Each structure stands twice: as structure tokens, then as C-alpha cells.
Amino acid sequence: MRAYYFDDEPTDQRLPHDSGEEVSLDTLSHLGVLYWSIPVGEGDSIPAGVDAIAKERGYKNRDTINVSKEGLGDAYETKIKGFFEEHMHEDEEIRYILSGSGYFDVRKHAAKQDDERWIRVLCEQGDLLVLPSGIYHRFTLDMNNKIKAARLFQDEPKWIPHNRGVETDVNSHRVNYLSTLPPIAVA
């Protein structure tokens, strides 16, 4: 895993978009983003370390998603566009990368919306990433165009994106998320 500020250049979303400004695990943690590195088991099996975290955090269900042209078929282009729309979920988003790689972009909250920046998180095989309920984020593949991930869920599997907008800004999960963040220093 590697995290850095997104450069906002208007080029292919699958490129690194590396601003050269690294982001620490502490910064991600302050945003509620959690990370573990756990080597994948033989044959893409879920290792005991992931099972232990799942049990500790109350993740009862899981499935596997293969985000690639082969894995998504005719839905590929539509899904990739949808994943890259800025959105939030009312549940945590938990992904354990079995193979391939891609980028999760998380929005760093700021006092003014114009000052919010994207933090790009490169996830590769063995990375376990937890995005908190209510955080604005998006996902894209990198230039390899494929990622296989286990998705973990606290309850029944669901993935309902709420695209950013006036209604989403006041969604109770978004408001609760913002209340967990450290105060923002205003200059």
C-alpha cells in the first residue's frame, strides 16, 4: 500500500496521478481509514489473519469480486464509471486484495469544500483496507486493468453507493462520520 495526494491532472484515471506528496498511515487513520498487510494464502485463500480481523470487527459475510473485462463482462465499462463517481456508503467498505491492483481515492475533509483533496491509496495483493461509513471515496483500476478482492460485510452483502450531493452531505452516516474527525484548524 502506498498513499499520496492525487495530482488532479485531467488524464486517464488509471494513471498514478502522483503529486509527490506522501500521506502517512497516521493521516489515513485520522480519517478513519484502516490498513493491514496480510500475505494471501495458497490459491487465493483467505488467510487466518484476515479471518481474525473479520471476527474482531464483526464481519459475518463475504464474497469475491473480479473487477476486469473478463470478470464483469458487458457491465465492465458501466461498473468502472460508477466506481469512480464520488460517493459514500452507509456501511464500512472492506476490501482484501487477492490479486491485481487498483486505487482507492478518499476525500480529505477540509473546512471549505474547495480545499478538500483526494488521497490516492494504491492497493495490491495482500492489502486489507477498511473505509469508514460516510467517507467520500471512489475506486479505479490501475493500468493493469484487473483486481480480485474479497469484500467483507458486517451484515448481508450490499453495496449501495450514495453519490455526493446536497442530500448525501446531510445523510446521518455522513454527519456521524464527520463528527468522528479531529477539529479542522481554520487559518
Rg of the chain's alpha carbons, rounded to an integer?
Answer: 16
Please indicate if the annotation marks 173 as binding a ligand.
no
Residue owning grid cell 479505479:
140
Concatenate the DSSP letters of all residues of 77-105 into one string.
HHHHHHHTS-EE-SS-EEEEEEEEEEEEE
Q: Residue 161: CA atoms inside 13 Å, Cβ hemisphere, count?
A: 15
Please indicate if the annotation marks 87 as binding a ligand.
yes
Q: Which residues are annotated as a binding site?
A: 87, 89, 93, 137
Q: Which residues are annotated as a binding site for Ni(2+)?
A: 87, 89, 93, 137
Q: Which residues are annotated as a binding site for Fe(2+)?
A: 87, 89, 93, 137
